[in-house]
């Protein structure tokens, strides 16, 4: 049996062997609690956490004390959005976000709406990008927060987050950016990009699952953020709970690797993505790329195949790991909310597949996957009614 080709790097990434090697001692002989300040076991764990915090901060252009470790980007999104709206209630109760955000942003926003928060949920253009004039028009005197992701998890479109940050800074509104898909793949600098809060996830960048971080700005402006989980005052009082030391160590190592290799890796993965796109388009009629190709993550390709049901296509491809959209919404029978927000019709949305390429893919794998997809699409079209 040939090895399956993994092209679902937006759902999760394999742990880099170098990351695993860094983590392993902290499951065994270096098992201390980083909050144990009275003996060497705790000091050793605390030292490892401090190093990881510096590594995450360096990749983000932040200060170490601005990094709050969490269980992942979903928790970070909740802490940022709910925390800010609670802390700045005296200023206003309005926030702005996009219809193409991850559910980890949209669901907390809906929860806040149930308790009186007003939300302007902006639609993107057909290319998936936010119209900056639309954003300016949506910001009101009582707007507290703008939450726009750096790069979309389904269509890979990179938002103009630096320009969004500048608009927020001009208008005195806080800017939260879910950078789970972008961090470690493209350059993000919280100061140059005027980001006040930023959600991160280790398992999207070759680190372990179950650990992430929230960047919280401490200067110009200092962001006030009450904890959403209490119980000991860990992480500068913003996120209580015993730290996941092995996971945090792995997150830090993953960031250190990305800092060294990100630019070179992006070029290689982009070339693989373009190779895949060219092979599919040259062999198949009725294909269309969803979202901007110019402003897109290097490893993302979201493509529709006219006349083909995407779920049926995936079932006919046991040798290729793909998805129809967000892994967090894969049980849904509804077409992708991201594609529908772009104005894509239901039939096209249901024929769309997400290809996610990454660090360990090879040219041979891309060619193999392309051949399998082409063959499967042709068979399904032949079986479809005229």
Given this model, what pLDDT does residue 326 score? Answer: 57
Report which of 150, 138, 143, 129 is spatially closest to residue 194, judged by C-alpha positions: 150
Handedness of CA 144, 103, 98, 333 (dihedral sign): negative
**Domains observed in the chain:** 5-12+262-383 (3.90.1150.10), 17-256 (3.40.640.10)
Read off the pTM.
Answer: 0.96
**Which regions in the chain score pLDDT beneath 70?**
1, 326-333, 386
**Active-site residue flag, 177:** no
pLDDT at residue 386, rounded to an integer = 55
* pLDDT score for 332: 54
Residue 90's pLDDT is 96
Which one of 168, 258, 328, 371 is the catalytic residue?
328
């Amino acid at each position: 049996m040939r090895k399956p080709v993994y092209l679902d790097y937006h759902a999760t990434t394999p742990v880099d062997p170098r990351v695993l090697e860094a983590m392993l001692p902290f499951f065994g002989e270096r098992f201390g609690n980083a909050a144990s300040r009275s003996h060497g076991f705790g000091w050793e764990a605390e030292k490892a956490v401090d190093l990881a915090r510096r590594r995450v901060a360096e990749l983000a252009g932040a200060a170490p004390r601005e990094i709050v470790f969490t269980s992942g980007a979903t928790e970070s999104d909740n802490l940022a959005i709910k925390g800010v709206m609670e802390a700045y209630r005296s200023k206003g109760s309005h926030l702005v976000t996009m219809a193409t955000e991850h559910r980890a942003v949209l669901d907390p926003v809906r929860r806040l709406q149930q308790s009186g928060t007003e939300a302007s949920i902006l639609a993107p253009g057909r290319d998936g990008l936010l119209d900056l004039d639309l954003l300016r028009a949506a910001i009101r005197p009582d707007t507290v927060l703008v939450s726009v992701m750096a790069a979309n998890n389904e269509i890979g479109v990179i938002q103009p987050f630096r320009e969004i940050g500048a608009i927020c800074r001009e208008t005195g509104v806080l800017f939260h950016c879910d950078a789970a898909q972008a961090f470690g793949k493209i350059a993000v600098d919280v100061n140059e990009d005027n980001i006040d809060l930023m959600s991160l996830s280790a398992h999207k960048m070759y680190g372990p699952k179950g650990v992430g971080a929230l960047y919280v700005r401490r200067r110009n402006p200092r962001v006030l953020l009450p904890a959403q989980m209490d119980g000991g005052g860990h992480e500068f009082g913003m996120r209580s709970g015993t730290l996941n030391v092995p996971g945090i160590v792995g997150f830090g190592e993953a960031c250190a690797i990305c800092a060294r290799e990100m630019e070179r890796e992006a070029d290689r993965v982009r070339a693989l993505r373009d190779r895949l796109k060219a092979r599919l388009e040259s062999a198949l009629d009725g294909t269309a790329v969803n979202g901007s190709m110019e402003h897109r993550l290097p490893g993302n390709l979201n493509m529709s195949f006219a006349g083909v049901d995407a779920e049926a296509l995936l079932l006919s491809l046991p040798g290729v790991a793909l998805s129809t959209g967000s892994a967090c919404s894969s049980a849904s029978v509804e077409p992708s909310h991201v594609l529908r927000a772009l104005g894509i019709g239901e039939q096209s949305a249901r024929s769309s597949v997400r290809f996610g390429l990454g660090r360990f893919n090879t040219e041979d794998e891309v060619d193999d996957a392309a051949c399998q997809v082409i063959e499967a699409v042709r068979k399904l079209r032949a079986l479809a009614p005229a």
